[in-house]
Amino acid sequence: MEQARSSWVIYLSLGCALLFMLLPFPLEWRVIRPDIATLTLFYWVLALPHRVGVTTAFFLGIGQDLIEGSPIGLSSLGLMISVLVLMSNYQRIRQFDGVQQSLMILVLLMLTSGSEQWLRNGLEMPGLPWLGLIGLLSSTACWLIIREMLRLLRRYYEVN
C-alpha cells in the first residue's frame, strides 16, 4: 500500500554515514574511527531486509572505495557477504538483546574487514595493522547508539 515511501531516508542516512568518513582525523588515529557507514547498512538490512540488501551493499562499497581511493569494489565484497549472512538470520538477530546483538555485529564486521584484507593480500596492497582491530571494537561500541538513532528516524518518517 505504502510501498516505496520514504525510501529517501535510507539513502540519505547512508550518504551521511559516508560523509562521516570525510571528516578530518589525525593520520595515526584513523584506525579507531568507527565504521558508521557499515553499521548504518547493517541496521537497514536488519530492519527492512526486503528493501535494503546486497545491491545496496555493493553500491555502498563502491562509495567507500571512491572516498578512500582504493581499487573499486574492494570494500563491496565483504559488505555483500556480511549482508547475505545478515539477511538469512535477521529474524534471529532481531530477537537478541543489546550485548548479544553487538557481539553478532562484531562478528559481521570481522567478516567484512576480513574479506577486504583477503582481497588486499591478493592485490599485494598493504593490509591493516593489528591495531585495526580497535576500529572493529569502536564500531561495535557504536552499534547500539546508531541503532537507536536510526530507529527513531525510521519510526518518525514511517519508512517501511
Partner 1 sequence: MQQTAVDVVATVTSIVLAPVDAWDRLVAAMNSRRDLQEEVLRLQQENRVLKGQSQRLAALLSENARYKALLRSAQLIDDELIAAQITAVSPDAARHIVVIDKGVLDGVEVGQPMLGEEGLMGQIILTGDRNSRAVLITDSAHALPVQVNRSGLRAIAEGSGMIDRLLIRHLPAKSDIRVGDLLVTSGLGGRFPNGYPVARVVEVVVAEGEAFALVTAEPISALDRGRYVLVLQRTVGSGAES
Q: Map residue 101 onto helix, strand or coil.
A: helix
Cβ distance to partner 1 smaller for residue 1 or 22? 22
Tell me how far apart the alpha carbons of residues 63 and 78 are, in angstroms, rounded to a whole number.
14
Q: Map residue 150 onto helix, strand or coil.
A: helix
Binding residues vs partner 1 (CB under 8 A)? 19, 21-28, 30-31, 33, 66-70, 72, 120, 125-129, 132, 135
Residue 106, CB half-sphere, CA atoms under 13 Å: how many? 14
One-letter amino acid of 53: G
Task: Please report how close the Cβ of residue 139 comes to partner 1 at its closest, in angstroms.
Answer: 12
DSSP designation for 96:
S
Cβ atoms within 10 Å, residue 102: 18
Cβ distance to partner 1 smaller for residue 26 or 122? 26
Place of cell 538477530: 93
Task: Please report how close the Cβ of residue 126 comes to partner 1 at its closest, in angstroms.
Answer: 4
Cβ distance to partner 1 smaller for residue 49 or 132? 132
Task: Please report how close the Cβ of residue 22 comes to partner 1 at its closest, in angstroms.
Answer: 5
Cβ distance to partner 1 smaller for residue 4 or 26? 26
Task: Please report how close the Cβ of residue 117 comes to partner 1 at its closest, in angstroms.
Answer: 9
